[in-house]
Structure 1
Amino acid sequence: MHKPIALLLIAATVFLHACTTVTIDEYVAEQDAVSIKSDEAVVVLGRRHSSNYETEPSLIECVADVIDDKEGKVISVIQETDFLDSLYPWFEPRTAPLRIKDINRLLAKPQVAQRIQDYKIRYMIWIDGKTETTDSSGSIGCSIGAGGGGCFGFGTWDKESDYEATIWDFEEMEMDGKISADAEGTSYMPAIVVPIPLIARVQTNACKALGAQLRNFLNPNGATASVN
């Protein structure tokens, strides 16, 4: 590789950083302090209003993993897939409760009430939102010739994550609070012979921040969850 190209390649790697900014907003209902016992569980569910829209299952799984206190067993999280399969079809898009008061309608069904009791669910957390690409620019071209080939150019794209978690208390049958996470970042793709993707982990950072805030919300006296 020619020296000028090598220097440019190093400069692109060192000086370009894919950064993400995350903003957390929390609303707490006026009520007694939120707390969860060691024998109670939490389930995290994604909103799916139709066949064309759903909060990404990967995001729901990620948030659940952050909340789950696997070491101290302070917060036990029921996996979304297990919960949905067990209570099919009551939490499908057309039948899932949209408001906390709709839960009473479902609990009137003995099979639903029994399964909820078996899981020992204290809190149900609904997450609504999505991650999308909001803008992109630049271009990269690749060619192959007698002397070899390579790619040259520069591209960027912006992504934004916008999620809101609503916490339902099954013991008090009321909404305890809402937590929102907004994340945005720009990814870069410089190409000097070889494309070098510098990806902004927008959804991952939104998940970690939202999950940590939910964990601290449910267990305010516990240790602060790490988002590293």
Structure 2
Amino acid sequence: MDKITLKRPFFVVNPKSYLYGEKLHQLAKKTDELCEKYNLQSLFTAQLVDLPWVVANCSHVIPCAQTMESLKPGRGMGHVLPEALAAAGVRATFLNHAENPMTIGELARTIQRAREVGILTCVCADSVEEARAIAELHPDIVTCELNNLIGTSQIAGKDYIRKSTEAVKSVSPQTMVLQAAGISTAQDVHDAIFYGGDATGGTSGIVCAPDPLVKLDELFAVLDQVRSEI
């Protein structure tokens, strides 16, 4: 399976474990509608049991696993097999999130396995130095997010956005950079892209909003707007 080609700017909707079942389906359908409306791409993560529903019912989002592992078909009870994700229609995976970190060896092996099955890799990094080091593995996306800002509704300043983006691009120019952590307002989305990010996205800023669907509409509208400014 060939990997999807990403176009700047794109968005990530990452419900983590906040949503599942019907509520997740509603958010996925809304994301799908907004991708079509604005001609924008969005990775949409879900629990493994919900991903087949997203694949079957949302033709405009990029279905994304919240993790994956490097094992091959055979033994591996309880682990996440790359071939199984690909066969189910999953097109991307997060790796090394602060809430599910990986060793550097396992991360390198998993990125290679993702290449073999045509799945995009979105690898999380905390500091500028970590972003530069992870870029050496040439993932498809590096998510630059300060761990201490995750879930705080406070985003990193423009200096961090610029420096972390430059650190990744200096090592792996083809790797896209997702600027995240604390994204909750239209201004946050604007700044994450305007100051250099290829993408942005959110979790609690969306799912914990009074109306997550209205919030998502607001964030996609500004992503469409900032596209004309970069």
TM-score by length of 1: 0.30
Normalized per residue, which structure has more strand?
1
User: What is the TM-score normalised by the length of structure 2?
Assistant: 0.29
- Structure having the higher helix fraction is 2
Q: Larger relative contact order (C-alpha < 8 A, sep ≥ 6)?
A: 1
Larger Rg: 1
